[in-house]
């Protein structure tokens, strides 16, 4: 159970990443009274096979899709850093942009993509370069960059004081130590994913339901999302 005044921030690479990996959990937290936000690092401008699609059109479409999905989930706000899709680098510039949001929003929990997930032999899968960069930058922003007063001193002058995040949740499909019951919000998750019409197929929604059932295997509930959870000391 989540504290009523909890603040949660999701940081990911593309519009739809957090809705695939964690929107059932965010919807649950929002229902329980938490203030929830997403920070999306890229504009998603490469995510289309449609020969008629342009980058400019796709950026607009994907931004609107994410804002609509955020409303379904009950987010208080969605922020975009607008880096170019596939070009995200976990450099100091990106880390500082994330620190700025952490120090402004002051989240108790940050949810991001596990940067240690590089590939999966069993699933024949290479994790997208932007996913790894966003996860790495968010992890470094949480610790130590947002926490330390002498890091980005100019932010303190703007009133953005250091902030210590209590828990870091990493989306990792192969490993976890935290399982969140999303039976009450799985339909919200599916509806949020349906907002990403430029990205999803009926097949991928079926796969999401199946994966959520697998995450709840051996539990008393039907659907779950799984994370690597770090309680920051
Ligand atoms: Zn992605």
pLDDT tens digits for range 176-233: 999 999 999 999 999 999 999 999 988 999 999 999 999 999 999 999 999 999 999 8
- Predicted model pTM: 0.96
Rounded to an integer, what distance in angstroms lies between the CA atom of residue 142 and that of residue 162?
A: 10
What is the 40 CA–ligand 1 centroid distance (Å)? 10
What is the 116 CA–ligand 1 centroid distance (Å)? 15
What is the 118 CA–ligand 1 centroid distance (Å)? 13
CATH no. of 7-231: 3.40.50.10320
User: Could you report the per-residue pLDDT of 203-217, keeping only the tens digit for each?
Assistant: 999 999 999 999 999
Its sign, for the CA torsion 15, 19, 25, 30, is: positive
The mean of the pLDDT values for the chain is 96
Q: Would strands 125-126 and 119-120 be described as parallel, antiparallel, or unpaired?
A: antiparallel
Rounded to an integer, what distance in angstroms lies between the CA atom of residue 34 and that of residue 224?
A: 19
Residue 94, CB-side half-sphere exposure with 13 Å CA sphere: 26
Tell which residue, 110, 100, 93, 80, has the closest CA to residue 171: 110
Q: Where are the domains of the chain?
A: 7-231
What is the 21 CA–ligand 1 centroid distance (Å)? 10
Are 224 and 40 within 8 A, CB to CB?
Answer: no
What is the 130 CA–ligand 1 centroid distance (Å)? 7
């Amino acid at each position: 159970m989540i504290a009523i005044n909890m603040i949660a921030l999701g940081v990911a690479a593309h519009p739809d990443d957090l809705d695939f990996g964690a929107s059932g959990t965010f919807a649950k937290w929002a229902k329980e009274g938490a203030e929830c936000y997403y920070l999306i690092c890229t504009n998603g401008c490469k995510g289309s096979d449609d020969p008629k699609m342009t980058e400019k059109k796709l950026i607009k479409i994907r931004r609107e899709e994410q804002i609509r999905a955020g409303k379904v989930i009950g987010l208080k706000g969605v922020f975009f850093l607008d880096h170019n899709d596939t070009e995200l680098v976990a450099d100091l510039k990106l880390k500082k942009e994330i620190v700025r949001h952490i120090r402004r929003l002051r989240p108790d929990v940050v949810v991001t993509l596990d940067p240690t997930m590089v590939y999966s032999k069993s699933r024949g899968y290479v994790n997208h370069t932007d996913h790894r960069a966003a996860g790495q930058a968010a992890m470094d922003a949480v610790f130590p960059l947002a926490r330390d007063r002498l890091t980005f001193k100019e932010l303190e002058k703007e009133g953005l004081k250091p902030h210590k995040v209590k828990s870091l949740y990493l989306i990792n499909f192969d490993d976890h130590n935290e399982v969140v019951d999303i039976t009450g919000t799985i339909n919200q998750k599916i509806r949020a994913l349906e907002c990403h019409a430029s990205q999803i197929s009926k097949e991928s929604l079926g796969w999401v339901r199946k994966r959520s059932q697998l995450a709840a295997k051996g539990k008393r509930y039907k659907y779950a999302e799984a994370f690597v959870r770090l309680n920051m000391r």
